[in-house]
């Protein structure tokens, strides 16, 4: 790998690490929101759980 391609690969790695950090922050935010939802709002709980699951899938994809 030459220097130019290595620089591009390093740039991609940095961007993926930044994306991973953002996704982790979103997961934390959604989990906090989930904890604050009253039990009588079950549909909202389900939606938050779906969002958390999707974000965790995205996180796994970025990590791979």
* pTM of the predicted model as reported, rounded to 2 decimal places: 0.67
The pLDDT assigned to 17 comes to: 92
Q: How far apart are CA 31 and CA 51, in angstroms?
A: 10
Domain that holds residue 14: 3-63
The pLDDT assigned to 45 comes to: 82
The pLDDT assigned to 19 comes to: 93
> What is the Cα Rg of the chain in Å?
17
**Domains of the chain: total:** 1
Q: How far apart are CA 5 and CA 27, in angstroms?
A: 33
pLDDT digits (tens, 9 = 90+) for 3-54: 888 899 999 999 999 999 999 999 999 888 888 878 777 788 888 888 889 9
In the block, tokens 């979103």 appear at 26
């Amino acid at each position: 790998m030459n220097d130019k391609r290595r620089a591009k690969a390093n740039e991609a790695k940095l961007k993926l690490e930044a994306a991973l950090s953002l996704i982790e922050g979103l997961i934390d935010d959604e989990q906090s929101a989930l904890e604050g939802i009253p039990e009588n709002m079950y549909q909202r709980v389900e939606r938050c759980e779906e969002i958390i699951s999707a974000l965790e899938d995205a996180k796994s994809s970025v990590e791979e």
